[in-house]
Amino acid sequence: MKNVLFKAVSAAVVCLLTVGLVACHRTDSKNTVSASDVPMTCYRSLLTSFDYGEETTYVIGHKTPDADTVGSAVAYAGLLNRLGIKAQAAVSGELNKETSYAYAQLGIESPAIVDNAEGKQFVLVDHSSYSQAIDGMNGAKVVGILDHHGIGDVNVSELINVRCAPVGATASLVYLAYRECGVEIPEDMAKYMLVSIISDTHNMKRSVTDLDQTAYDELREIAGVEDTEALYTGMAEAEMSYEGLSDKEIFLSDYKDYEIGGKTFGMASLDAYGEEKTRDLAERMVKVMEENYAEMGLDMLFAKVSNAKEDSDENMMYMVAYGEGASELLLKSFDCTQDGDLFIFKENLSRKKQIIPAMTTVLESKD
């Protein structure tokens, strides 16, 4: 089924490209168009020759919106507007903390929320599957897709513009579309796209292609953002600030119960950015565990707090243990050092893949 869909989508793309190229070729033979103008005219015609009808075309990303999904939608809608197409950016819900922080810093705003697609017309960015799309997309008309994930199951029988490529951020493909269409990038649009790329590539540390690098360099200039590292750090901190939550709510924000080798225990998994904040959060968890231990009725409580700062030689993880035998269990299971209530780790361990299996081995051993 997927293969058939993929073929259908590929055929649609090839058809449109062919139509576009033929149209351009005609223009070229009539007028004196320089070689460098040809791709620009071609790509413009790909987007503008499509019949969007009278209604508004909403440009929207996936559910649980992140910075790339929002910024790509806004910037692509902006491009369509500049090409004379009635388009409007939308978002499926409230912005996450990282995105809100960046937008507040740069003085740009969130698009309006559209949470049901039924009967409306869309260009999808940063996703192409119904499971990630807002509700009602099955009953909506999809007239374009721009993405950097695997091809999803959004099924369109008409010929539409689709572009999916393995790049760091969907926003880099939006940047490319501006360039290909010869449309100048306004400062605010540059800000949206830059935030997207910074977020998806962890400020150019993950999955960066030549296109992402070119887009990043140019958008940074246009947006006038010199210190992207400071912006990225602020975004990462905002994401991990657990703002508005009490310490107990933070402890329970990613918490799981276990019963292993006749012992019951619970373990929280938390993140902070930088060693100081990681240690501080771990210390606050000591208090939460002391205060809630009796009420929770378990043998032991644990919290792991990971330092999310990459490329650093700082301590990467702290653990807190509470209850009889809890500290001993940590020291038996791992190569870590104890410092008062805290256990210090040089590397970041996964609760699911490393911590629970190591503790299970110790808890289930007879000696």
Residues making contact with Mn ion (CB under 5 A): 68, 126, 170, 200
Quote the CA–CA distance of 253 and 255 in Å, as a whole number: 6
The residue (of 126 and 271) whose beta carbon lies closer to Mn ion is 126
Minimum Å gap between C-beta 155 and Mn ion is 22
Tell me the closest approach of the beta carbon of residue 169 to Mn ion, in angstroms. Answer: 5
Taking the complex as a whole, how short is the minimal distance between the CB of residue 305 and Mn ion, in angstroms?
Answer: 27
Q: Please state the φ and ψ torsions of residue 272, each to the nearest 5 degrees.
A: -145, 165
CB of 126 to Mn ion, least distance (A): 5
73 touches 60 (CB < 8 A):
yes
Distance (Å, rounded) from C-alpha 241 to C-alpha 336? 26
**Of 206 and 352, which CB lies nearer to Mn ion in the complex structure?**
206
Shortest distance (Å) from residue 326 CB to Mn ion: 40
Place of tokens 């012992």: 263
Nearest residue (CB) to Mn ion, 200 versus 237: 200
Residue in the shown chain whose Cβ atom is closest to Mn ion: 68
Smallest gap from residue 68 Cβ to Mn ion (A): 3
Copy the structure tokens of residue 355.
């911590």
Query: Nearer Cβ to Mn ion, position 149 or 287?
Result: 149
Would you say 200 or 271 has its CB closer to Mn ion?
A: 200
The torsion angles phi and psi of 184, rounded to 5 degrees, stand at: -65, 140
Closest CA to 352 of 256, 271, 260, 273: 256
Which one, 71 or 323, has the nearer CB to Mn ion?
71
**At 321, phi and psi to the nearest 5?**
-125, 140
Paired with 348 in beta bridges are none
- Are β-strands 337-339 and 342-345 bridged in parallel, bridged antiparallel, or unpaired? antiparallel
